[in-house]
Amino acid sequence: MDDIDRKILALLQEDATLSTAEIAEKVGLSTTPCWRRIQSLESEGFITKRVAIVDREKVNVPLDVFIAIKTNQHNIDWFGKFSKAIDEYDEVVEFYRMSGEVDYLMRVVVPDMAAFDTFYKRLISSVELSDVNSSFAMERIKYTTAVPLDYMMDSPTPRRRRR
């Protein structure tokens, strides 16, 4: 992994629709070596998927709900049932097992409070939970799917972006 690979990753994180020729021009390579690098980044698992980011307002799921879940069930059978249930809910866009006070945290996107109430009732009927706490985002201040690339093993010390 060198600076050119990092530049390619940064460009693709910003716009995965760029052609290989456009990326090659921006990183100072000819098309074929750039294409090989992109193929290598994919085969080595640095690029796991290329997706389109949909405008949530236009598809009517503008509301973010963060759900903190506690359970007194800490066994593999319960976890399997819970994970399988969560897989069935398209509204769940992120799902994490946590350390600390909360066992699981998920982010759900829905059109409105009524849709969330329907989701909530389905959730609590699908598996035994000891506590469910929901918080509604009032405003999205920062959102990105891009991850920082300055922490890679052969990168220099991470730099703070100047504002």
CATH number of the domain at 9, please. 1.10.10.10
- 88 and 130 both lie in a single domain: yes
Give strand ranges (E) for the chain: 63-70, 92-97, 104-110, 131-136
Chain centroid to CA 90: 14
pLDDT of the residue at 147: 95
Domain tally, the chain: 2
Q: How confident is the model at residue 152, as a pLDDT?
A: 83
**Adjacency order of strands within the sheet including 63-70:** 92-97, 104-110, 63-70, 131-136
Residue 92, in any domain of the structure = yes
User: Whole-prediction pTM value?
Assistant: 0.84
Report how far residue 136's alpha carbon sits from residue 119's, in angstroms, rounded to the nearest whole number: 14
Average pLDDT for 88-117: 97
**pLDDT confidence band for 159 (50 / 70 / 90):** low
Tokens representing residue 16 in the block: 């995965």
* Domain-embedded: residue 161: no
What CATH number does residue 77 fall under?
A: 3.30.70.920
pLDDT tens across 57-87, in order?
Answer: 999 999 999 999 999 999 999 999 999 999 9
> For the segment 118-131, what is each residue's pLDDT rounded down to a tens digit?
999 999 999 999 99
Residue 68 domain flag: yes
pLDDT, one tens digit per residue, over 15-43 is 999 999 999 999 999 999 999 999 999 99
Residue 33 and residue 67 in one domain: no
Do 76 and 34 reside in the same domain of the chain? no
Regarding whether 82 and 31 lie in a shared domain, the answer is no
Are 124 and 88 within one domain?
yes
Residue 94 placed within a domain: yes
Residue 119 lies in a domain: yes
For residue 29, what are the domain limits? 3-43
Is 28 inside a domain boundary? yes
* Same-domain status, 69 and 17: no
Burial of 34 (0-12, 13-18, 19+ CB in 10 A): buried
